[in-house]
Chain A
């Protein structure tokens, strides 16, 4: 009995001495594994960046927490163990985070995306559809069949923005291109994603991309079948050395540092914080060897135009699937409008579920 007791004592002592050194405890909740080479991996890279760049910060994380009310308990546990800033990183956590935020008014919450805030809950996200638009250009210039395939999880605005941006990018260089969409109804369902990838290729698509938590499944299927792939969330080029074109990837670290520092120095405010290509929170990955020099030059030129704000992805004219004009020439969608997007653009095949 003596030994377990002393271990227990030692571990409590150690725990208290660590918490005495660290001033701010930051907790992260992930919907999938942090090793998914995708969405959760990218968020976790942000967490590691935070630990590296802020000495007085200690982080902890929970993986594989479903988007149901279980996440409330997980967040409460974190807060009860001393966490002062919570990063609920998945779309479906928002309503649950708002509930917990109301119960713990002294804790700050930074939720990934969404359009709701409260006194102590802000959202952060980045306009990664800019990078998806550029990746679409690379896809549109590379495809030989003029058919692109998109594997999508849920028809939420963020996903629709990526499908539409990718398609508009491709059609800006190759008006013949169409994008077929298959919905998987889940952020992570490897077998469904692989089946969808096979089906899209069978249907003639020769560039695959998607918006599910991990790009690995469709990138690997594309590589096996000898077609091209465009990644999403994180650089997965090592899974497709032959067919990798480029990817739209996150870089959360600096944004997370800003958020945590704003809490520490008292300047935190409840807001919708958004990054983009210019701030570097959304980026284009390196190009793969399959991309031609002409394509790279075109993409780089358009990237510069977006960075210089000479071109905006959501500037009209934007035509819907049915051919009707949704945004007239001369108009540009506002941030609020894009984050409520509920349509597919001309050139996308497949319906909203």
Chain B
């Protein structure tokens, strides 16, 4: 596509090269997002430039703000991985939210069962419980797809609601803390079931799980035979089958692994952030994770910085209320704007370079 490489000496061709480089669409996206957010602030009658800087400061301006951004990053990162891995096999799962809730549900169930066990035993049990819970909520739609041909997008979407309602049921009913004076939540987790945090902030092990998982998945999918097999199966399951690659098995595997990662996100929220299981545990992380997964182009390493960026956007929404009295929904609007810009710029850029 780029035939000017040999004439790099001329400044004009140099500029052309730069414009055709891989960073150009990213730069356009950033500029478009900055402009769109400022326009959004201006439409709402706020001073756009100063407010934009306040927002950036609210997400990344000091140690505390950045730590709160990373708190939001963990569940986004893990749920994005839970979406991106099945997507490598061509599956469009939207089930990370439900898997997150199931992870919190099973993990909390384990904690309640093993309440008096010491931390060295309770913590691994809790995490294992959460992974099983999340994986189950991945395997169910996977089986529905491979056995009955049910579309995975629809089944994962519906299972989200089931998962959220199951948590709601237990915290309003059987698992309600008898001493909470009627308030719907479980008892507080014991000390041994609280994931470790770093440097006196709320940033917790969940972030480490997410980053390590992203790196492992990246290596597996790009370097291993199994990863190559996913690619083959994705483009043509029948060709894959003749090479001994079972599409059905891979569907189960990617959905289960994705689910267990989202499950980890769920138990991390319950354990270290809320200290208990309750309603409204993580409203919307699964959806944000879905956006991040598709923004990244299912690229596991790109998911990490994108999750931090999205976490920053969610955490910095505070500044919009604090300094400009813009409602909390503004952050959701900006998130949608970002998503549309990335899709639109990406699409236009591909058309331009193909032309």
Interface of A toward B, CB cutoff 8 Å: 3-4, 7-8, 11, 33, 60, 62-69, 72-74, 76-78, 80-81, 91-92, 95, 115, 154-157, 159-160, 185, 340, 342, 352-353
Contacts and interface: CB of A to CB of B under 8 A. Distances in A.
9 contacts: A11-B50, A62-B321, A63-B327, A68-B273, A69-B202, A69-B273, A155-B182, A160-B182, A185-B172
B181 interface: yes
Q: Which 4 A-B pairs have the closest CB atoms?
A: A4-B49, A155-B182, A156-B182, A69-B273
Nearest to B274: A69
Given A8-B53, A80-B64, A342 B181 contact: yes
Nearest to B49: A4
B181 A340 contact: yes
A66 B183 contact: no
A62 B182 contact: no
A76 B322 CA distance: 12
Interface residues of B, number: 32
Contacts of B73: none
A80 B53 CA distance: 17
Contacts of A66: 280, 283
Contacts of A154: 182-184
Contact of A78 (B183, B278, B322): B322
B328 A156 contact: no
B328 A63 contact: yes
B318 interface: yes
B264 interface: no
A199 B58 CA distance: 46
B315 interface: yes
Contacts of B172: 185, 353
A95 B181 CA distance: 13
Given A8-B53, A155-B182, A67 B273 contact: no
A185 B184 contact: yes
Given A64-B328, A66-B280, A185-B168, A74 B182 contact: no
Contact of A68 (B71, B278, B327): B278
Contact of A342 (B182, B184, B281, B321): B182
B182 A60 contact: no
A7 B47 contact: yes
B68 interface: yes
A122 B323 CA distance: 27
Contact of A8 (B50, B202, B273, B329): B50
A219 B6 CA distance: 77
Contact of A92 (B64, B183, B321, B328): B183
B315 A73 contact: yes
Given A63-B328, A68-B278, A157-B181, A77 B322 contact: yes
B58 to A, nearest CB: 8
Contacts of A4: 49-50, 53
Contacts of A81: 322
Contacts of A115: 181
Contacts of B319: 77
Contacts of B280: 66-68
Contacts of B279: 185
